[in-house]
A and B are shown apart, each in its own frame.
Chain A
């Protein structure tokens, strides 16, 4: 069975890859392109660890087939910092001890960035509901919520 040849843009770079129909975007990112910052926690869309942005929309990359991504723009955790300059969310996660083991962190950061793009001034409740698709077992979420609120304030220039 021949593979599909797909051309996408990942974190601003044009990327070609070959994939089988059954391979998810998560499989492609991790196994074919070695972009392992995107994590697999469940492969069924229930934990959010594999969150990426697809044409500006937050998705679980385990629920997208590689073959569906032709011509699309994909943004992963690897593209979040600007060179040496961490994204404010990344910096605030570090400052607020918003990560422990860190396995859910890339997905949470990608989800939080998407949340703030739509709602730059969220309430605590909006952050909690906005991040409800991302499981974290270590932190109890509190420091994550605080980090997102603090980053939002900084990004608004408040």
Chain B
């Protein structure tokens, strides 16, 4: 989650009030018209005069020593203006930093951007070329001669953990083990956290169920490939237009990798064509800058889809164990989980995040969670929407379902009996504040969906999910123009297209001016202070906190101007409905002053009106959701058809309700895709076999039904409008919900993801 908890953070408390804009669907969405007309500019749409085209040479091996790289023939090809390899990048020491929900180590980041001693996965970059056309750049790549010494490789997480497995990093000794191991290991880190005594808890149980689960790596699947345009100026400045969820974090990473001063780098986030956590880390940007520096031309780089699959993302493949015990009357007495998570070529998976979500939907006194972060010859994993949580929820919610069945208790009732609520002690430290989990379960129980009859070969499944809302650095500026219109400059990248509408609503609500009077603008890295990446469901929650702060700052300034105009004390001015009004003994003495009135006079009374927020936001409200799914299983082929789906989730406060529902739809469908078909497939040489949309099999429109939604609103006390993050929770329950529904339809319990037709058919035949 990036930062250490700080006592200096900002949380603006929730205030119940009548709302004019927040909670109502705006008719205007600032980003929408540009998007439907094709005029929105994504990174690959940018071009600079004189620009070259950059391409990357990638490893064809899963694991190999690099013996030599000869670029001379490529450099000699007419049209080639620059070639770079590891020699063009400084080596970096170990240094850990936050990059979204996952942490990065700069020693590894630079090696992932450009391989140094070894290539560690199929697709690992080794060299890059800038040429006057894409075709020439591609021809040049073929002229680069690389000598490899191919090494044994390891793809599977369990195999990678074995003592005799091929080792990726000879200098990696398992952390979290005492004493420090003497032999290097692919297990980068072991973590353990506990509450009470789980073994004692199991002694009180009447039924104990223990199951093992496996999940395959899945990609974020954004439709926009990574792309950037970079320009290194004669003055030694770097300008980059790129596809990013966090331009300030990209700037930090570029500065480290290229050993540049931060102030010499300007990163402009282009319209983002989907990220879902996968665009929190640099891939192309440092290469493009160095190619630009070497060639003295701007350089544009766009990945192919094949490169996106082979070298970016995905989420961890996992191997997990879940053991839960409960009494006859349905009270969980103890729970254990072991999480073995692939991190890919370099340490640092979503393990630590996943580990704290394992049982954090239930009030359990005795918990033990053990986890391993495991390197293997795959692309370095990136965050993917609630990173790590869907995979362990698959295990936990499957076992919960099996327990409920064994105990002959309705699965929703079983969860209600054990549901976490305000005051529940988590196994990772804090007690939960006010949350809406019980409310989602109650709403699910009462939903129309639960009343729908099921036909033959059909089944219903329930599962739940929990995710954090992070805060972190958030800066914004509200500028009131001379005519009283406002521009709000924000720095939390609008990753899904909803932020601009939401910020407009919040500023309108705070200032009391119409939506049409507000323009919302995404900053580059020079026009605002640092903003952390849009990750951890923070976009609306933290971004709107900064909008509130900046608005209130501007309102205070406007009240001050009014006080000066009226020559009264500032306490005698109130802000109401877009106007400064006399509020003390002076009520009735003066006409209210509108924003436009005040803006016109601002210069004389001290200067332009603006409001600022430079916050470290804290107090994010965790989100909980319950999903219901109906499936039909084809007994002949094992195909699973999703018939009906409901998402019930606590949004705290839905600022833009239709958009909240749209996030529920999208998250659920990503989860359905992951559950049924999506997976990374490798051949025996460790080469990815399905690096394209055809064989990666993301859901198409005809694969999924309508998704019903119920928004529950239990306000977050630490947000002025009660907002909770909502983007990530919806992808957590689907795997388990589908597994539970398949069980209800067929009697089989699947523990291997994806739950593809061959597996379903085989399991049915073994019943």
- A interface residues with partner B (beta carbon < 8 Å): 20, 22, 30, 34-44, 46-47, 49, 76-78, 80-81, 86, 90, 93-97, 99-106, 109, 125, 127-129, 131-145
Q: Is B69 an interface residue (CB 8 A)?
A: no
Check: B12 CB closer than 8 A to any chain A CB. no
B761 within 8 Å of A (CB atoms): no
Tell me the nearest residue of chain B to A23, going by C-beta: B135
A49 to B225, CA, bound (A): 12
Q: Which residues does chain B contribute within 8 Å of A43, judged by CB atoms?
A: 304-305
Of the candidates A20, A46, A93, the one whose C-beta lies within 8 Å of that of B693 is A46
- Verify B223–A103 contact, CB threshold 8 A: yes
Q: How far is the CA of A106 from the CA of B692 in the complex (A)?
A: 21
Q: Are B38 and A38 in contact (CB under 8 A)?
A: yes
With a cutoff of 8 Å between Cβ atoms, the chain B residues found around residue A81 in the complex are: 37
Q: Does B763 contact A (CB under 8 A)?
A: no
Q: Mark B656-671, 1 if CB is under 8 A from A, else 0.
A: 0011011101111110
The smallest C-beta distance from B494 to any residue of chain A, in angstroms, reads 9
Contact B702 A132 (CB under 8 A): yes
Closest to B658 in A: A97
Chain A contacts for B37, CB-based, 8 A: 37, 77-78, 80-81, 86, 90
29 A-B pairs (CB sep. < 8 Å) = A37-B37, A37-B38, A39-B223, A40-B44, A40-B225, A41-B225, A41-B693, A42-B305, A49-B223, A78-B37, A80-B37, A97-B661, A100-B662, A101-B273, A102-B31, A102-B35, A103-B223, A105-B36, A106-B36, A134-B701, A136-B223, A137-B274, A138-B496, A138-B666, A139-B666, A140-B662, A140-B665, A143-B665, A144-B701
Query: B135, A101: Cβ atoms under 8 Å?
Result: no
B697 to A: closest C-beta gap in Å: 10
CB of B160 closer than 8 Å to a CB of A: no
Complex contact A135–B497 (CB within 8 A)? no
As a 0/1 sequence over residues 27 to 57 of chain B, the CB contacts with chain A under 8 angstroms (1 = contact) are 1010111111111111011010000000000
B378-406 interface with A by 8 A CB criterion: none
Partner of A94, one of B32, B42, B44, B668: B32
Determine which of B34, B36, B495, B669 lies in contact with A140 in the assembled complex, contact meaning CB atoms within 8 Å.
Answer: B669
Specify which of A36, A128, A136 is in contact with B702 (CB 8 Å cutoff). Answer: A128
Among A76, A80, A86, A136, the most chain B Cβ lie within 10 Å of the Cβ of: A136
User: Chain A residues with Cβ under 8 A from B27's Cβ?
Assistant: 95
A37→B47 CA distance, assembly (Å): 14
With an 8 Å Cβ cutoff, the count of chain B residues facing the other chain is: 59
Q: A49 — which chain B residues lie within 8 A by C-beta?
A: 223
CB distance from B590 to the nearest CB of A (A): 42
In the complex, A139 Cα to B36 Cα: how many Å? 15
Asked if B36 and A93 sit within 8 Å, CB to CB, the answer is yes
Q: Which of A101, A127, A140, A145 contacts B274 (CB 8 A)?
A: A101
Residue interface bits B295-335, CB-to-A below 8 A is 1, else 0:
00000001011000000000000000000000000000000
Asked whether, in the complex, the Cβ of A36 is within 8 Å of the Cβ of B666, the reply is: no
B224 & A101 in contact (Cβ 8 Å cutoff) = yes
Within 8 Å of chain A (Cβ to Cβ): is B193? Answer: no
Partner of A145, one of B47, B670, B701: B701
Residue in chain B with minimal CB distance to A143? B662
Q: Contacts of B304 on A, CB cut-off 8 Å?
A: 43
3 nearest A-B pairs in the assembled complex, by CB-CB distance: A37-B38, A103-B273, A102-B35
Contact: A47 with B223, CB < 8 Å? yes
Query: A99 touching B32 by the CB < 8 A rule?
Result: yes
| Other 18 A-B pairs with CB < 8 A, given A101-B274, A102-B31 | A39-B44, A41-B225, A47-B223, A94-B32, A94-B33, A96-B658, A100-B498, A102-B34, A102-B40, A103-B223, A103-B274, A106-B38, A135-B693, A135-B698, A135-B700, A137-B222, A140-B662, A142-B706
State whether A100 and B497 are in contact (beta carbons under 8 Å apart), knowing that A129-B702, A141-B701 are contacts in the complex: yes
Interface centre among A49, A128, A138 (most CB of B within 10 A): A138
Q: Are B271 and A141 in contact (CB under 8 A)?
A: no
Whether the Cβ atoms of B693 and A101 lie closer than 8 Å is no
- The answer for the CA separation of A95 and B699 in the assembled complex, in Å, is 24
Q: In the complex where A43-B305, A102-B271 touch, is A139 in contact with B662 (Cβ < 8 A)?
A: yes
Contacts of B47 in A (CB 8 A): 34
Given contacts A100-B662, A101-B496, contact A137 B36 (CB under 8 A): no
Q: How far, in whole Å, are A141 and B673 apart by their CA atoms in the complex?
A: 13
The answer, yes or no, to whether B241 is at the interface (CB within 8 Å) is no
B38 touches A46 (CB 8 A): no
Complex Cα distance A55/B135, Å? Answer: 28
* B44 with A141: CB separation less than 8 A: no
Please report the C-alpha to C-alpha distance between residue A40 and residue B692 in the assembled complex, in whole angstroms: 13
B439 to chain A, nearest CB (A): 23
Residues of B within 8 A of A30 (CB): 44-45
* Nearest-Cβ distance from residue B299 to partner chain A, whole angstroms: 15
Nearest-neighbour CB distance to chain A for B139, whole angstroms, equals 11
**Separation of A109 and B31 alpha carbons in the complex (Å):** 16
Taking CB atoms and an 8 Å cut-off, the chain B residues in 393-451 that contact chain A are: none
Nearest residue (CB) in B for A103 is B273
B177 contacts the other chain (Cβ, under 8 Å)? no
Shortest Cβ distance from residue A36 to the other chain B in the assembled complex, whole angstroms: 4
Task: A57 to B377: give the CA distance in the assembly, Å.
Answer: 44
Contact call A137/B497, Cβ cutoff below 8 A: no
Q: Which of the listed residues B38, B274, B661, B668 has the most CB atoms from chain A within 10 Å of its own CB?
A: B38
Shortest A102–chain B CB gap in Å is 3
